[in-house]
């Protein structure tokens, strides 16, 4: 089994957790009561943070096990302990507050009906919760590659059919320890961080090699990175992705 195959497997494990997280977030939404936002929204937020932290523990534990398995498969024998990343409390607060901020639009600004804003806040809240948890899981892998003398760096695994933002980032290949590139993700992003160890080469999976081909082809006569990104996006759409 290749690095990419195991990455896809770990991605599925993480997505399984996200399905459960989304169900719990849906149940929590009942706390928010129309006409009582001042009391119930902060209550909801406190409960949501607890749920996210619980899922972060599960997701980062799975990420650490995955890292250990990869490390062993790469033949590293020196002892190393993966530290589990957590969700910074101020990040959780900021993200969850952003998800529900439209509930507070003053009537004078003629906002959309409250039912509509509740629905969209709920969708945003699930996306935000998933990102908080997944960021912690990916950070667990990425931080470990920085701390582990046996690791060379990490690579982004984007699934087939990923959005153009992620496809573009996945084209970059492996990011080595001396680089300061951070893992960029959007809400509902399923991309995964793959550790690359000494003696290993990141081999992108078939669908990424196809993106690379599309990119080369689409940007042959294009100058400037913005124009290149636009050309790649168009070509991906034309290719039915
Ligand atoms: Zn992604």
What does the pLDDT look like over 127-162, one tens digit per residue? 999 999 999 999 999 999 999 999 999 999 999 889
The arrangement of strands across the sheet holding 174-176 comes to: 174-176, 151-157, 192-197
CA atoms within 13 A on the CB side of 37: 13
Q: What's the CA-to-centroid distance between 59 and ligand 1, angstroms? A: 17
Residue 73: predicted pLDDT: 94
> What long-range pairs does 222-229 form, CB within 8 A, spacing at least 24?
229/168
Q: What's the CA-to-centroid distance between 189 and ligand 1, angstroms? A: 4
Q: What's the CA-to-centroid distance between 160 and ligand 1, angstroms? A: 10
Q: Do residues 125 and 41 touch, judged by C-beta distance below 8 A? A: no
Residue 179: predicted pLDDT: 72
Q: What's the CA-to-centroid distance between 128 and ligand 1, angstroms? A: 14
Residue 239: predicted pLDDT: 84
Residue 176: predicted pLDDT: 77
Q: What's the CA-to-centroid distance between 118 and ligand 1, angstroms? A: 26
Q: What's the CA-to-centroid distance between 165 and ligand 1, angstroms? A: 7
Q: What's the CA-to-centroid distance between 97 and ligand 1, angstroms? A: 23
Residue 155: predicted pLDDT: 94
Q: What's the CA-to-centroid distance between 24 and ligand 1, angstroms? A: 23
What span, in angstroms and rounded, lies between the C-alpha atoms of 91 and 99? 12
Q: What's the CA-to-centroid distance between 163 and ligand 1, angstroms? A: 7
Residue 161: predicted pLDDT: 87
Give every residue of the chain whose pLDDT is below 50, as ranges: none
Q: What's the CA-to-centroid distance between 161 and ligand 1, angstroms? A: 10
Residue 99: predicted pLDDT: 97
Q: What's the CA-to-centroid distance between 194 and ligand 1, angstroms? A: 13
Residue 187: predicted pLDDT: 86
Q: What's the CA-to-centroid distance between 208 and ligand 1, angstroms? A: 13
């Amino acid at each position: 089994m290749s690095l990419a195959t195991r990455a896809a497997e770990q991605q599925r494990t993480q997505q399984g957790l996200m399905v459960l997280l989304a169900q719990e977030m849906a149940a929590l939404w009942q706390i928010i009561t129309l006409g009582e936002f001042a009391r119930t929204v902060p209550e909801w937020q406190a409960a949501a943070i607890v749920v996210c932290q619980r899922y972060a523990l599960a997701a980062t534990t799975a990420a650490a096990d995955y890292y250990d398995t990869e490390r062993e498969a790469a033949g590293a024998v020196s002892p190393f302990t993966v530290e589990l990343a957590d969700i910074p409390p101020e990040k959780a607060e900021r993200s969850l507050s952003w998800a529900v901020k439209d509930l507070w639009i003053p009537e004078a600004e003629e906002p959309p009906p409250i039912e509509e804003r509740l629905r969209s806040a709920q969708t945003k809240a699930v996306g935000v919760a998933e990102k908080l948890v997944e960021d912690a899981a990916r950070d667990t892998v990425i931080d470990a590659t920085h701390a582990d003398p046996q690791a060379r760096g990490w690579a982004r695994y984007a699934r087939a059919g990923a959005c153009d933002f992620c496809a573009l980032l996945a084209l970059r290949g492996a990011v080595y320890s001396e680089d300061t590139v951070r893992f960029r993700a959007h809400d509902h992003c399923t991309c995964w961080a793959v550790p690359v160890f000494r003696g290993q080469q990141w081999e992108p999976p078939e669908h990424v090699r196809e993106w690379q081909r599309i990119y080369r082809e689409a940007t042959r006569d294009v100058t400037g990175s913005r124009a290149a990104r636009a050309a790649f996006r168009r070509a991906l759409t034309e290719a039915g992705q």
